[in-house]
Copies of this chain bind each other. A is one copy, B any other.
Amino acid sequence: MGDRLSRRLERRTPLQVASTPSLDELTHTSSLGLLYPIAPGVTPGSDTSHLAIFGFDPYVYYKGRGPFEALGAGLELKPGDVAFRGNFAHVDHNMVVVDRRAGRSLDEAFALADFLNQNLSFDDVEVVIRQTTEHRFALVLRGKGLSPSVTDTDPHRTGVRLAEARPISPSQEAVRTAEILNRLTELAHKSLNQHPLNLKREEKGLLKANAILLRGAGTLSNMPSFEETYGIKGFAATGTAMIRGFCRTIGLEAPFIQGATGDSRTNIDAKVRAGLKALETNDFLYVHFKATDAAGHDKNPEMKVQMVEKFDQLIGQLLNGLTGEEVLCVTGDHCTPVDLGEHSADPVPLLVGSPDSYGDGEKFTEVGCAFGSLGRLRGLELMRVLMNQANRISKFGE
């Protein structure tokens, strides 16, 4: 949600421009500050940032994004499984990547993933694939003797050939896994290129989704759960597969919520309803809102302002269902400045509201937060600070 002074908003941030009556009201009775999701100058991914903000050191626990994506897609992960994130892409007859995502709204993605799921397998290695959102899917290799020490087949740009997976450790497992990935990539291309759904796309003048690009190989690391760490049970309302996967990894209840799409059309009523219901039996609620980030990536300041306003409505609805005695925190997992179009290392605005807050201002903005009474915190410290505010105190020493 954080941003910089945008050239296209007359050197204001989307938070400064947006009309946010509910956040404004909350700010009157809350403390403000800035949060470095990981550390000053470190640009986080959403995955490393979520680890840190929930109190798990990403330098210890981060082992690639594939596992989060797989969990978020509802796939089960067993010890030894190697998981990847994937895109359906379009390549030409020389395997040169023409489009890394063959259309952002690829209606055929679910069916194509399911088709591959039925038809790909190697000797004693099982291949499990499931679409997550849009053109994205998770892919899991399951079998003995696999390794996550392999390079991406996603070249991360267009105009070059699909990359060959290479081992990045000298182990037999890594060599074997790279070979499997390369054969898998070839087989997937052949079968996708002839798939009826793709032939139809071609007829309509659309790019065929005729290749899979894999990245972020990882295995599931052994993490303590949220409940073990904080002694409370929690629930997550999110429409984003990766975040759902993360939340499940740490033991939060994170169901699919009908209408929570992880994009600008997401149904905030459904999220708030599910969240408030969950609070009847949980101590902790996490509501994730993704669309502000997407607007940043798309370098679309007007959309970001709109999405901040949509988020403000979510906050308003949430506040209506709360007692006023809760500890509330509003923050982001990173900035995606609209003029930059990618994640940055700027600290994110932070609001903590509880009956003990001072009331730091009139409007929730980056500039106001820079001068707030909370000062600067780091992601790893945040949950502990909130637990303290909630009087759930665990003392170090006596």
Contacts and interface: CB of A to CB of B under 8 A. Distances in A.
A377 interface: yes
A395 B40 contact: no
Nearest to A382: B41
Contacts of A373: 367, 370-371
A184 to B, nearest CB: 21
Contact of A396 (B42, B344, B375): B42
Given A344-B388, A381-B40, A393-B342, A375 B45 contact: no
B358 A388 contact: no
7 contacts: A40-B381, A44-B395, A45-B396, A46-B398, A48-B396, A340-B391, A358-B370
Interface of A: 4-5, 34, 38-49, 58, 62, 65, 85, 215-216, 340, 342-346, 356, 358, 367, 370-371, 373, 375-378, 381-388, 391, 393-398
B370 A40 contact: no
A356 B5 contact: yes
A16 B41 CA distance: 30
Q: How many copies does the complex hold?
A: 2
A65 B385 contact: no
Nearest to A398: B45
A45 to B, nearest CB: 3
A278 to B, nearest CB: 24
A50 to B, nearest CB: 9
A393 B343 contact: yes
Given A367-B358, A373-B367, A393 B41 contact: no
